[in-house]
Amino acid sequence: MDRKRIHDEVIEILANKLHQLPPPPLSPEEDDGFDYDSQRLIPDITSNHLDIAEVSMDLEDAFGINFDEALPGSEGLETIGLLVDHIHTKINAPRAGAKD
């Protein structure tokens, strides 16, 4: 899955769950240049750790991954851009035992 698609899905999930984030534009003409990637999950978008837990579960379900090491908003996953990169890496990492 490419990074743009992951980015768009992450933004949609976050905007639907955390109403502090503006929804993504419906068309390129509506794009106001809002920089989603630099938005810090905590405290810019939410300071409620329950919100982060719910979003984490939604992201895990949407992408078939687990946030084993750290939840979104924690060190290394502070911004939306870092979160998208993390998900992109997890989805596209070679599976152990997979055949070529």
d(CA 28, CA 18): 23
| Residue that wins the pLDDT comparison between 22 and 88 | 88
24-34 mean pLDDT: 76
Domains of the chain: 3-24+36-92 (1.10.1200.10)
2-25 mean pLDDT: 90
Instruction: Tell me the pLDDT tens digit for each residue of 38-64.
Output: 999 999 899 898 999 999 999 999 999
Q: How far is CA 75 from CA 41, 44, 48, 59, 86, in A?
A: 11, 15, 16, 18, 12
List residues bridging with 40 in a β-sheet. Answer: 79
- Going by C-alpha positions, the residue among 18, 24, 13, 17 that lies closest to residue 59 is 13
Q: How far is CA 87 from CA 1, 12, 22, 29, in A?
A: 10, 15, 21, 28
